[in-house]
Every structure is written in C-alpha cells, then in structure tokens.
Amino acid sequence: MKAIRLFSWNVNGLRACSRKGFMDWVRQVEPDVIGLQEVRALPEQLDDEVRNPKGYTVHIHPAKRRGYSGVALFTQIAPVQVTLGGLGESRFDDEGRLIIADYGDFVLYNGYFPNGGNDLSRVPYKLAFSEAVLQHAESQRRTGRSVVICGDVNTAHQEIDLANPKSNQRNTGFLPEERAWVSRLVDHG
C-alpha cells in the first residue's frame, strides 16, 4: 500500500468548524483519511457538503446525547469494514467515542477519549474506556494486524506537554493513572 496522508483533528464542533472553512481546508490539503473528534452533531445537522464531500466517504458516530462528543471519519480510501463504536459495551459505544476502520493492511482506531471530569468522577470510566480500546487493538495485533490509534486521548503524557505541569498534577488529563495508561499505550508500540 502507498503512503497514506492521515490527519487527526479535534474540531470541537463540526458545525462551527465547517462555518470557518473546514471544507476549504479539505479541498486544499486533500488528506487521504481524516479522523475527527468532538464532532458534537448528528449527521442530519450537517450541511450536505460536509456529509457528502466530493471524493470522500464519511462515517459519523454521534453520541446518543445530542451535542455531545462524537467522532467522524472522512476517507478517500475504501475501508474493508467500518465499525461505529465496536467495543461491545453500550456505556462506551453510546457516547460516540470510537470508529474502527479496517483498511486491510491496517486497522485504524479514531477515538475521542473521555475527560475525567472536574470532580474526577469520570476518571474510572475514562480509564475503563481507554483500557478497552487498548485491549481491542492488542487483539488485532495478536492476529498479525498493524494498528493505528489516533484521536484525542484527553491526557498530557509528560511534563513537557503542559505549560504548568506542577499545578495540574491533581487535575484530570494529567493524573498519574492517566499518564500511566498513555505510557502503556506507547509501550505497546
């Protein structure tokens, strides 16, 4: 397979992003594959130009809760299979956090990993989701498949990744257990 130009972008709302020139950027840059996170829209809420751009197939996995999370995949290369969600647990799949695309030579995971919440109440959920993605990807690797994981993991891995690491040590996105998971992901290759 030829080299693929793969982009990953947390758009923080695809409707707003599209009003600010998203499709102009797509036409200019012409990525082969774009994984979007935090789409926050149902497909029917998007302009036709975004839902059906020339040269791309679009897969959108919105959250059941309107205006919340959601991921999308714009692809010029036809995947063998696309799975919206795919972890087999409604608590994960209902939040529109993952698209798994099988491209034959590799499996692409486009994920929008949860935030742990200001009160840290969602940290256990975040870690469970993260671990489920890692284990699913590892099951693909054990069968000899190549795996690409892209998206927004909502965690800064090292101190250099933050402007103020000392003041963030007790905040979600930089907790030791969150950073340890990112280390495990990196260690898996």
* Per-position DSSP letters for 140-182, written without gaps between them: HHHTT-EEEEEEE-----SGGGSS-TGGGTTSTTS-HHHHHHH
88 torsion bin: left (phi>0), alpha (psi -120 to 50), beta (else): left
Check 24, 93, 94, 152 and give the catalytic one: 152
| Secondary structure class of 182 (helix, strand, coil) | helix
Angle between helix 123-142 and 176-187 (nearest 10): 10
Two tokens at 123?
């940290």
Active site residue 152: yes
Write out the catalytic residue numbers. 152
